Amino acid sequence: MHDRDPSSAPRRVAYVLPVYNEEENIAVFHAALVEATAARPDLDFEFVYVDDGSRDASLERLVELRAKDSRVTVVQFSRNFGHQLAVTAGLDLVAESGDADAVIVMDTDLQDPPRVSLEMIERWEEGVEVVYAQRRTRKDTPFKRATAWGFYWVLDRLASIQIPRNVGDFRLMDARVVAEISRYREHDRFLRGIVAHVGFRQEALLFDRDERFAGETGYPLKKMLSFAASGILGFSTTPLKLISRFGYAISLFSVLLACYVLFIRVFRPEESVPGWAFLGVGMFMLSGIQLVMMGVIGSYLGRVYVEAQDRPLYTLAMVARDRGADPESGS
Ligand code: UDP
Ligand code: MG
């Protein structure tokens, strides 16, 4: 499949590095990355920086880097499209050019230590196709920790696939995994879910997440909430199904209420209030029926949604077959 002799040509590892307002971090980050990757002179590295419409001098810093280091590639977005799309653009670039055997995605604020990415490379060389960094500790505010915990708790219960906890987008992916990811074209992207959806051999690597070196987070609360929503809505139609369950519960309640009203009317006529039975039971029964009907619509909507996402139906890891071989490869 490869056109080069694997024993002679070095294997190629590309870093995909999203940048948004990181002018104070880029030089320090790149120096740390170069220092860490220098430990593997046998590999051929490329550093793909994607500037996600930064408002500061990040782009100038990147162009300076490229002038000094030809392994640096700079991609500039026309405006801020968000972290997930910046990473996607980098992955697409690498997948389209077919220029890497593995891709590492990491943040450029030094929260993801470059030396950890070298451990990932070692695991990849042992045959693991996705090595994701799992936080053993995180130096975030108690608020961020609590919201992250709550988010993963909900996601665990609702998502149709297992998405590992305390895992960001810091990971190494084999080229075949990257090629698969580029077939997922949904607009509202939750990359760590897509990677989990793709499959292959995936393993965690524990690490301690550092504090942001300089600048401030590009994920304020509003962005965090919409990101959490893409994760849950992108991988689950459970919220839609909840409507009908709620409707059934209310309908059941209205039946119980009707029995109670009937009981009062027959056995304690002196306690019954005229008109109350009709209003009370009617109200609950109608809203119950309405919710059940909305749930039915929701079930169809859920199917439309899944079809609209248009994800690949499956991913082949291997095909072993004798028949129908490529005619050109024969004698
Ligand atoms: N980032 C980006 N676009 C954005 C926000 C962030 O490309 O709209 C980049 C940012 O430069 C960093 C990474 O994504 O390399 C993670 O962002 P950040 O550190 O702000 O998130 P946090 O670590 O606080 O979750
Ligand atoms: Mg950060």
Of the pLDDT bands very low, low, confident and very high (cuts 50, 70, 90), residue 18 is very high
107 lines ligand 1 (CB under 6 A): yes
- The protein residue with its alpha carbon nearest to ligand 1, atom 12, reads 107
Q: Ligand 1 center to residue 102 CA distance, Å?
A: 22
pLDDT value at position 1?
44
ipTM for the whole complex: 0.96
20 lines ligand 1 (CB under 6 A): yes
pLDDT in tens, 184-196: 998 888 998 999 9
Residue in the structure block whose two tokens are 């965090």: 224
Which atom of ligand 1 is closest in space to residue 216's alpha carbon? 20
The answer to whether 209 touches 135, Cβ cutoff 8 Å, is yes
The DSSP output letter for 272 is: P
234 lines ligand 1 (CB under 6 A): no
User: Nearest-5° angle of CA 31, CA 34, CA 40?
Assistant: 160
Q: Rounded CA gap, 13 and 234, in Å?
A: 30
Give me the mean pLDDT over the 166-170 stretch: 88
Of the pLDDT bands very low, low, confident and very high (cuts 50, 70, 90), residue 6 is low
Residue to probe by mutation, ligand 1, list 75, 88, 109, most atoms within 8 Å of CB: 109
pLDDT in tens, 265-286: 888 888 777 777 788 888 888 8
CA-atom Rg of the chain in angstroms:
27
pLDDT in tens, 310-329: 888 777 777 777 887 665 55
Q: Ligand 1 center to residue 239 CA distance, Å?
A: 28
Query: Does the pTM exceed 0.90?
Result: no
Of the pLDDT bands very low, low, confident and very high (cuts 50, 70, 90), residue 70 is very high
Residue to probe by mutation, ligand 1, list 80, 139, 219, most atoms within 8 Å of CB: 219
Of the pLDDT bands very low, low, confident and very high (cuts 50, 70, 90), residue 2 is very low
The ligand minimizing its distance to the Cα of 106 is 1
Q: Rounded CA gap, 55 and 53, in Å?
A: 6
Q: Provide the β-strand partners of residue 45.
A: 13
Q: Ligand 2 center to residue 112 CA distance, Å?
A: 8
Beta-carbon neighbours within 5 Å of ion ligand 2:
109, 111, 212
Q: Rounded CA gap, 50 and 123, in Å?
A: 26
Lowest-confidence pick of 54-58, 86-90, 324-328: 324-328
pLDDT in tens, 222-248: 888 888 888 888 888 888 888 888 889
